[in-house]
Amino acid sequence: MAFFIETMLGGLMTGMLYSLVALGFVLIFKASGVFNFAQGAMVLVAALAMARFSEWSNAALGGDSLFLANVIGIVGAGAVMFVVAWAVERFVLRKLVNQEGATLLMVTLGIAYVLEGLGQTFFGSEIYSIDVGMPKDPVIMFEGLFEGGVLINKEDFIAAALAAVLVAGLTVFFQKTAIGRALRAVADDHQAAQSVGIPLNKTWVIVWCVAGLVALVAGIIWGSKMGVQFSLVTVALRALPVVILGGLTSVPGAIVGGLIIGVGEKLSEVYLGPYVGGGIEIWFAYVMALIVLLFRPQGLFGEKIINRV
């Protein structure tokens, strides 16, 4: 039983990280109708920028203040994400208004490649570390309930809490602020939004920035856990089924979807894997997404897809 709960909690933690990346997908999709395959590349670039800027400034400061170096790192990485958002709008999206979803999807694959190439050219392509002072030591919980208790990483806890705060913040942002509402209007209807005077270009830059910041948070958490390296881009592929499951237009969907897939992946690997030779994590999420697609294409929480004639 303790093992089961441990596995499940482990799954929840991974799921939280999936949720974070999925959140980036949903934000951009809601506001620009673009499914952003480059979200993984954005996580990589953000994490690389953060790792390197803090490393450089740490060296420049003589290793005195890790905190200051990290602040500089975060600010620097934020600036990089802003430049990315601006460039994407200026050089790509602006030229593809009212194009089909498939074209936009393919264009973000191109963006992903460019970001991966540029990011590594500027910041290097080795493995770097991010140290924001997350506690690494495990804690044992529920000792009273089970023999031996349940082993959990403190780091995971903090990460999950951070993610939860971010999600809450974004929900408030979208529901309560004027900008947030404008973003939603853009999502619902580009032309209508334009005709009531919402500048499309600006909202796109903002939303890509927000997605960039989400990527930065995901990058920091993931990077401090496993190091910053190229394989970070694959988290986009891992998080893709999450949004299908949760629904592309739903922020809560991204969260719940991430948790379901995180837990499902771990449990199936542990309990089902041995029978089929293991490694089923890779496709488990996708097969779940496939089933959802066949029976409920809009996902668990998404808005129904209507094709008008």
Partner 1 sequence: MFYRENGQFKTSYAADQQIFTIAQDKWFVWGLIAFAALAVPMLADEYMFRAILIPFLVLSLAALGVNLLVGYCGQITLGAGAFMAIGAYAAYNFMVRIDGMPLVLAMLLGGVSAAAFGILFGIPSLRVRGLYLAVATLAAQFLCDWAFLRIGWFTNHSSSGSVSVAKLEMLGWVIDSPTEKYLFCLAFVIAFAFIAKNLTRAAIGRQWMAIRDMDVAAEVIGIRPMFAKLSAFAVSSFFVGVAGALWGFVHLGSWEPAAFSVDRSFQLLFMVIIGGMGSIMGSFFGAAFIVILPIFLNQFLPLLGSLVGVTVSTAGISHAELIIFGSLIIFFLIVEPHGLARLWSIAKQKLRLWPFPH
Provide the minimum distance between the beta carbon of 18 and partner 1 in the complex, in angstroms, as a whole number: 14
Alpha carbon distance 305, 298 (integer Å):
6
Q: How far apart are alpha carbons 21 and 208 in whole angstroms?
A: 13
CB nearer to partner 1: give 100 or 188.
100
Q: Which residue has the tokens 């939603």?
A: 184
Residues 108, 211: Cα–Cα separation, whole Å = 14
Residue partners of 287: CB distance under 8 A and separation at least 6: none
**Binding partner 1 by CB under 8 A: which of 61, 189, 279, 303?**
279
Q: Residue 118 or residue 141: which is nearer to partner 1 going by CB?
A: 118
Give the separation between CA 246 and CA 248, rounded to whole angstroms.
7
Distances 157 to 9, 37, 135, 152, 154 between C-alpha atoms, Å: 10, 28, 10, 8, 5
Residue 44 vs 217, nearer CB to partner 1: 44
- For partner 1, which residue of 151, 225, 286, 300 counts as binding (CB under 8 A)? 286
What residues from 82 to 111 belong to the interface with partner 1 (CB under 8 A)?
A: 91-92, 95-96, 100-103, 105-107, 109-111
Q: Least distance (Å) from partner 1 to the CB of residue 156? A: 25
Q: How far is residue 83's CA from residue 34's CA, in Å, rounded to a whole number? A: 19
Tokens read off for 160: 């999950």
CA dihedral 103, 203, 117, 110 (to 10 degrees): 0
Q: Is 272 in the site for partner 1 (CB under 8 A)?
A: no
- Is 232 within 8 Å of 222 (Cβ atoms)? yes
Residue 103 or 129 with smaller CB distance to partner 1? 103
Is residue 209 close enough to count as binding partner 1 by CB under 8 A? Answer: no
Question: In the window 118-137, what residues touch partner 1 (CB under 8 A)?
Answer: 118, 120-121, 125
Say whether residue 289 binds partner 1 (CB under 8 A): yes
CB of 120 to partner 1, least distance (A): 5
Q: Which is nearer to partner 1, 65 or 103 (CB)?
A: 103
Using rule CB under 8 A, residue 112 touches partner 1: yes
Token match 């668990």: residue? Answer: 300
Q: For residue 269, give the amino acid letter.
A: E
Member of 180, 241, 246, 257 binding partner 1 (CB under 8 A): 241
Question: Does position 282 bind partner 1 by CB under 8 A?
Answer: yes
Say how far apart CA 179 and CA 184 lie, in whole Å.
Answer: 9
Tell me how many residues contact partner 1 (CB under 8 A): 47
Rounded Cα distance between 260 and 254, Å, is 10
Q: Map the footprint of partner 1 across residues 246-265, applying CB under 8 A.
A: 248
Contact residues toward partner 1 (CB under 8 A) are: 35, 91-92, 95-96, 100-103, 105-107, 109-118, 120-121, 125, 237, 240-241, 244, 248, 276-280, 282-283, 286-287, 289-290, 293-294, 297, 305, 307, 309
